[in-house]
Amino acid sequence: MQAVKAGAKRTGRTEGTRRTERIGRSGMDPEILECYLEAGRIASSVREQTMNAVEEGGRLLDTAEYAEELTRQMGGEAAFPCNISINEIASHYTPLKGDSKFTPGDLVKIDIGVHINGYIADTANTIEVDTNHNLILIKAAQEALNAAINEIQDGVNTKYLGKVIENVIKSYNCFPMTDLTGHSMERYTIHSGVNIPNYGSASFGNVLHAGDVVAVEPFTTLGHGMTRRGEVRIYSLVGSKVSKNLLHQKLFSLFNTLPFTTRWMDEPDELDKITTKLHKYPVLIESGGCRVAQAEHTVIVEDKGCSVITA
């Protein structure tokens, strides 16, 4: 089920009917639902426009800043820094000053987060710069995502979704990244406790319920499917407890508990003063140096099926 396009004309009566239907499907508060739908609409548009802006010789930093500026222009806020992860880098890479340019053959994952009042839409897709050598990896990730979405409804177990994802990826003779997962989200919280595995034999599983908001994100590779950790470019504050530390207060007022990057700060060196209050997101890199593709949507679980808010 696709999200209702926010650009569509709304009369009071039609909207009322739609809302009643939606409440029946997900049980979510209508005003919160509107925030999610708007965040999803913006994230989807920013993802597409940013992918279109990727070209040989373009700077990664310019592309990330373009995505973040577009998000603001459309009335949203970045829920995390624009991630541009290339080739064997799977995720959590955001460009900093002096960063490199796109070159032909790069396998580029664009991962966009948008929030409205803290309600988050998280979406990603993969493209290749000028060449077509990795179409199977990309297709496997996209089709695994579609297959999982088709199975999501109230009562589904995330372990089963992992199996669906793994089966599709393996049907393309690719492998899932087994230590990267999709995740449930809550207000101002990008990972709220439930993981959605990308393989069937995961040692964890949870039942999804109507009204849950989850990001599903299969990653594909021809390598081992495990990551190693690189440098840290993205942080978030741990907890929302009011602190006497002025920097902590300032960062909380700017980003709440959502991820941010040093390039968004005037004096990034100051982070050294509050290391105990920081959660770090190291860059995640395929351990064998093999290329990785990713596809991701955010969905709202419903009684029967789900709504893809980032379609």
Active site residues: 111, 122, 183, 191, 217, 296
The answer to whether 68 touches 122, Cβ cutoff 8 Å, is: no
3-state secondary structure of 158: helix
**CB of 101 closer than 8 Å to CB of 58:** yes
Count of residues binding Mn ion (CB under 5 A)? Answer: 5
Nearer to Mn ion (CB atom), residue 66 or residue 247: 66
Q: Which one of the spans 104-112, 127-135, 138-146, 285-293 is the region binding Mn ion (CB under 5 A)?
A: 104-112
Smallest gap from Cβ 9 to Mn ion, in A, equals: 31
Q: Which stretch binds Mn ion (CB under 5 A): 131-139, 157-165, 193-201, 290-298?
A: 290-298
Q: Based on CB atoms, which residue is closest to Mn ion, 22 or 123?
A: 123
92 binds Mn ion (CB under 5 A): no
* Segment interacting with Mn ion, rule: CB under 5 A, options 7-15, 169-177, 263-271, 295-303: 295-303
Phi, psi of 61 (to 5 degrees): -65, -45
86 binds Mn ion (CB under 5 A): no
**Closer of 210 and 215 to Mn ion (Cβ):** 215
Nearest-approach distance from CB 174 to Mn ion, in angstroms? 19
**Closer residue to Mn ion in complex, CB, 154/296:** 296
Partners of 175 in the β-ladder:
221
Q: How far is the CB of 232 from Mn ion (least distance, A)?
A: 17
Contact (CB, 8 A) for 289 and 266: no
Q: Is residue 154 part of the contact set for Mn ion (CB under 5 A)?
A: no
Give the whole-angstrom CA distance, residue 76 versus residue 40.
Answer: 10
Q: Which of 78, 79, 124, 216 binds Mn ion (CB under 5 A)?
A: 124
Residue list 33-72, contact with Mn ion (CB under 5 A)? none
Separation between Cα atoms, residue 235 and residue 245, nearest integer Å: 17
197-236 binders of Mn ion (CB under 5 A): 215
Query: Which is closer to Mn ion, CB of 121 or CB of 248?
Result: 121
Dihedral angle of Cα 306, 80, 109, 151, to the nearest 10 degrees:
-10
Q: Tokens at residue 76, please?
A: 């949203």
- The dihedral sign for the CA sequence 120, 210, 109, 277: positive
Contact status: 111 vs Mn ion (CB under 5 A): yes
Dump the DSSP string for 1-64: -BPPPTTS---HHHHHHHHHHHHHHH---HHHHHHHHHHHHHHHHHHHHHHHH--TT-BHHHHH
- The smaller minimum CB distance to Mn ion, of residues 211 and 259, is found at 259
Q: Is 142 helix (H, G, I), strand (E, B) or coil?
A: helix
CB of 125 to Mn ion, least distance (A): 10
Mark out the alpha helices in the chain (DSSP H runs).
Answer: 12-26, 30-53, 60-73, 135-151, 158-171, 246-255
122 binds Mn ion (CB under 5 A): yes
| Least CB distance to Mn ion at residue 18 (A) | 27
CB of 117 to Mn ion, least distance (A): 19
What is the binding site for Mn ion (CB under 5 A)? Answer: 111, 122, 124, 215, 296
